[in-house]
Chains A and B, each alone.
Chain A
């Protein structure tokens, strides 16, 4: 029967016509019969009609059988809503646009939150995955010495609550202990980051990110290969055949597809491996921040990293491997923790060598692993929450605007609504019709908002990814997000449509019929909304001001070296097979070759760029001594000839490192000025000696340089004490080249690549970047924030001003009579303008009064993002206030002028 109903509904126009025809025939036949009985034709027709009953009503009743009244009325409502909306294009456009911006911004940020914070790994049953971490008391003792079972670590330790030490790295024997006889985990697997390696496929060399994984990694994650097979426990043994699994993307880039890649030989850092399989397309490992190109068995690091690697397995105090486990069915995470923590505690106690270490044993902590590792989350969750709050506020402003506009319109239509009510329309029906309008507005706004969000997600990804190299985050608009958006628009539509609608249809119809004017409560509601908008705009303005100030402060940090026109890139000849001592000559030759490029005024090498120093692979980290004194807080930078010249760091005494300093000659060093001052006072340090006991080196100081800032701009370690050592004397492995160029450094990249390829085609040129870009990368988050917040602040301010303008215009229109009287009584134009503006200022002042304390409180939330800026910096508050007041005055000026132009005569006539 439902099908029939549907069919009837679709044919309803035709059916109505048919029905009309039927009824006409009936009437005609009845009339004919009555005529035959002797009535006159007109009387016959009239009587036939009378006997029939109310034709119109019967038709309606019949139609109602097909579609219930509810639906046909609903369609009517929406049709009417469309008509009113096209009739007031300006209003509609404004409302839809501001709502779209609000919803679009919210959807964008929420997409990011969803993919960073909420989405699970693309593996089977991610909910039963668990990440193993440990936690211990702070490792430093009273003398700031490191006393802890962790003697060495390859990876990250991060601060937990109250200074505790937290990490996800474990020694290999811990892994073995936890793995055996595990009643709570069905699998325990491990992995660690293998850094970037030289991957040669069919003669072509590039860099690839490597992840070492244990035999049960793929089993534990329950992924199926896209081709071939995945790494198994058999492969993860010392001496097993070297096999590799490549990522799906790599199989497409370096081979012609997954099927083609299986069984192929590859070279990783010049060591032969065989590809046994390809990972599935969406798989990116367990860390959303990184997507490895290559997965190798853990024990293959013995082939790649040599003797150092062998030590890692045996050393119980060296923490390097990360662990995850899959819970057995019906075992909860807390049960697993209760079962394993004692076992871990027992094991780690045996590794403590002293009492001090025994006092601070790490305790096992299990964390949910469904969303993968937390590094991306840790980095972005707080900023994202801040942004979410901000766009939420902007949406509130947009809704307030629309509510205002709808209120004004509902009041303007009071007469129409009163007429309808008095003609017998049900109140619910009228409210429903007004609601249909606001729902339509809201859905249009929501649809447009989705379009804005799509663009926004792309733009935001671009902004965020400028700070990372391999940014693997792909925020997408997915169904959850779209559903949220739809819900949001629906709620908005109902919210700001319902109140005005109910308000406007109040039963006291007579006053409205008489003079159709708006009343006090509407004005009050509007004023409340505008004050709220102004308050919110102020808060956002203050936030923007704080971030812009932070950015300014960062930009004016003294670096000590030049920022512009420097091209940086890295090479690792060792991964292609070069060894000491020939590798030093290789690099040196290249350097001279670079210097001869037209446009390059100077070139140099170092173990890493200044910004990235301390993060790179091989550095010298040991103690530095001058005589018997230990130097505190200095860093060693291994640099080649012309370093100071290229980076434009002034030489204050002696000379810098140059070609004279070779592996065979006297080991030399250049120290920075602050170090010279601190440890040598006013004496000339040239000729004195520095020792590096752990490297067993004694360096002669040959020069003093100006101070420079090590690391990124936000580096808390103000280590401006630098020791430059000659890189050639320390058998370099991978180096970073710096070229000072005339003009845009990126123009020289092709040249550089050609030269390197000519010299040795097995070596890829990596990490090509300009110095300026690299510095900006360290503050990319601050840049993004400043840009976003400024954009948000402008948006909020514009919307609030629109709201203010609308309200003032409405007020002026309502008060035309009063103003007319005043002017007729002699008020000057200026006085009228002042009257309107005074109201504007009062509203703005009220808004400020509410928002200043709110701003003070909320700006404390973003304290950690700021740099050398106080959250309650009075200058910024004052500036924001001034901007707000000027904007408000500007918005109020047009209505004010209109008020002053009122012709008293026509105004009074309107009464």
Chain B
């Protein structure tokens, strides 16, 4: 049956960053984003798939991504998201914040 999916709560807030990064590489619909993240992380990151959608709504409300109706590879109607210019800027901001955070944690862990 597979491992129980772990809720993505190790670093709260990084879901937004992951989504933005995914969309910066290509335009995907909801399921596609989940697949990409899971595959890219070698199935280490297993999100609760439903929590993607509130996050997507929030990102869209803030103007960082845009959703349009389109067709999937299976010819089914889906809402395809793409990142906006503002979104790219936000991605840089979040990446920097995340890097600072991991550095700080690493320092703590590295201290004797």
A interface, CB within 8 angstroms of B? 1, 4-5, 8, 18-19, 21-23, 25-26, 28-30, 47, 51-55, 57-59, 61-62, 64-66
Docked Cα-Cα span, A61 to B76, in Å, equals 25
Residues in A with CB closer than 8 Å to B30 are 22-23, 25-26
Contact A25:B61 (CB < 8 A) given known A51-B49, A52-B49: no
Contact A62:B53 (CB < 8 A) given known A22-B78, A53-B48: yes
Residues in A with CB closer than 8 Å to B77 are 21, 25
Which positions 72-108 of chain B face chain A at CB distance < 8 Å? 72, 74, 76-79
Please tell me if B40 contacts chain A, counting CB pairs below 8 Å: no
Residues in B with CB closer than 8 Å to A65 are 54, 57-58, 61
Instruction: Report yes or no: A29 in contact with B31, Cβ–Cβ below 8 A.
Output: yes
Instruction: Report yes or no: A30 in contact with B57, Cβ–Cβ below 8 A.
Output: no
Docked Cα-Cα span, A904 to B25, in Å, equals 82
| Cβ of B57 to closest chain A Cβ, rounded Å | 4
Which positions 29-78 of chain B face chain A at CB distance < 8 Å? 29-31, 34, 48-51, 53-54, 56-58, 61-63, 72, 74, 76-78
Instruction: Report yes or no: A26 in contact with B57, Cβ–Cβ below 8 A.
Output: no
Docked Cα-Cα span, A8 to B57, in Å, equals 10
Contact A25:B63 (CB < 8 A) given known A18-B79, A53-B49, A65-B58: no
Instruction: Report yes or no: A66 in contact with B61, Cβ–Cβ below 8 A.
Output: yes
**Binding site of B, secondary structure by majority: helix, strand, loop or mixed?**
helix
Residues in A with CB closer than 8 Å to B72 are 25, 29
Q: Quick one: which of B5, B29, B56 contacts A25, CB cutoff 8 A?
A: B29
Instruction: Report yes or no: B63 in contact with A66, Cβ–Cβ below 8 A.
Output: no
Instruction: Report yes or no: B62 in contact with A1, Cβ–Cβ below 8 A.
Output: yes
Docked Cα-Cα span, A692 to B76, in Å, equals 117
Contact A25:B54 (CB < 8 A) given known A51-B5, A65-B61: no
Across the two chains, which residue of chain B brings its CB closest to A33? B35
| Cβ of B97 to closest chain A Cβ, rounded Å | 20
Please tell me if B1 contacts chain A, counting CB pairs below 8 Å: yes
Residues in B with CB closer than 8 Å to A21 are 77, 79
Instruction: Report yes or no: B53 in contact with A58, Cβ–Cβ below 8 A.
Output: yes
10 smallest CB-CB distances across A and B, nearest first, come from A53-B50, A58-B50, A61-B54, A65-B57, A52-B50, A53-B48, A26-B31, A29-B31, A62-B54, A62-B57
27 A–B pairs (Cβ distance < 8 Å), ordered by A: A1-B62, A4-B61, A5-B61, A19-B57, A21-B79, A23-B30, A23-B50, A23-B53, A25-B29, A25-B76, A26-B34, A30-B49, A51-B5, A51-B48, A51-B49, A52-B48, A52-B50, A53-B50, A54-B50, A57-B50, A58-B51, A58-B53, A61-B51, A61-B54, A62-B57, A65-B54, A65-B61
Residues in B with CB closer than 8 Å to A59 are 53
Instruction: Report yes or no: A4 in contact with B63, Cβ–Cβ below 8 A.
Output: yes
Number of B positions contacting A (CB below 8 A): 24
| Cβ of B16 to closest chain A Cβ, rounded Å | 13
Residues in A with CB closer than 8 Å to B78 are 22, 25
Residues in B with CB closer than 8 Å to A47 are 1
What is the 8 Å Cβ interface bit string for chain B, positions 1-36, against chain A (1 contact, 0 not)? 100010000000000000000000000011100100
Across the two chains, which residue of chain A brings its CB closest to B49? A52
Contact A55:B49 (CB < 8 A) given known A65-B61, A66-B61: no
Docked Cα-Cα span, A19 to B5, in Å, equals 23
Residues in B with CB closer than 8 Å to A29 are 31, 72, 74
| Cβ of B91 to closest chain A Cβ, rounded Å | 18
Residues in A with CB closer than 8 Å to B31 are 25-26, 29-30
Instruction: Report yes or no: A22 in contact with B53, Cβ–Cβ below 8 A.
Output: yes
Across the two chains, which residue of chain A brings its CB closest to B62? A1
| Cβ of B80 to closest chain A Cβ, rounded Å | 10
Docked Cα-Cα span, A64 to B58, in Å, equals 10
Residues in B with CB closer than 8 Å to A66 are 57, 61
Docked Cα-Cα span, A645 to B34, in Å, equals 112
New A-B contacts (8) at CB < 8 Å, excluding given A23-B30, A66-B61: A22-B79, A29-B72, A53-B50, A55-B50, A58-B53, A62-B56, A65-B57, A66-B57
Docked Cα-Cα span, A853 to B48, in Å, equals 75
Residues in A with CB closer than 8 Å to B34 are 26
Docked Cα-Cα span, A51 to B3, in Å, equals 11
Docked Cα-Cα span, A51 to B43, in Å, equals 14
Contact A19:B53 (CB < 8 A) given known A25-B31, A30-B31: yes
Residues in A with CB closer than 8 Å to B54 are 58, 61-62, 64-65
| Cβ of B108 to closest chain A Cβ, rounded Å | 32
Residues in B with CB closer than 8 Å to A25 are 29-31, 72, 76-78
Residues in B with CB closer than 8 Å to A55 are 50
Docked Cα-Cα span, A59 to B1, in Å, equals 26
Residues in A with CB closer than 8 Å to B5 are 51
Residues in A with CB closer than 8 Å to B63 are 1, 4
Interface centre among A8, A18, A47, A61 (most CB of B within 10 A): A61
| Cβ of A686 to closest chain B Cβ, rounded Å | 106
Docked Cα-Cα span, A273 to B79, in Å, equals 85
Docked Cα-Cα span, A66 to B53, in Å, equals 13
Residues in B with CB closer than 8 Å to A19 are 53, 57
Instruction: Report yes or no: A26 in contact with B49, Cβ–Cβ below 8 A.
Output: yes
| Cβ of A65 to closest chain B Cβ, rounded Å | 4
Across the two chains, which residue of chain B brings its CB closest to A5? B61
| Cβ of A157 to closest chain B Cβ, rounded Å | 75
Across the two chains, which residue of chain B brings its CB closest to A61? B54
Docked Cα-Cα span, A698 to B51, in Å, equals 114
Residues in A with CB closer than 8 Å to B29 are 22, 25
Docked Cα-Cα span, A65 to B59, in Å, equals 10
| Cβ of A581 to closest chain B Cβ, rounded Å | 97
Across the two chains, which residue of chain B brings its CB closest to A19? B53
Interface centre among B1, B57, B78 (most CB of A within 10 A): B57
Residues in A with CB closer than 8 Å to B58 are 65
Docked Cα-Cα span, A58 to B30, in Å, equals 14
Docked Cα-Cα span, A29 to B53, in Å, equals 15
Docked Cα-Cα span, A8 to B62, in Å, equals 12
Docked Cα-Cα span, A520 to B38, in Å, equals 65
| Cβ of A18 to closest chain B Cβ, rounded Å | 7
Docked Cα-Cα span, A57 to B54, in Å, equals 10
Residues in B with CB closer than 8 Å to A30 are 31, 49
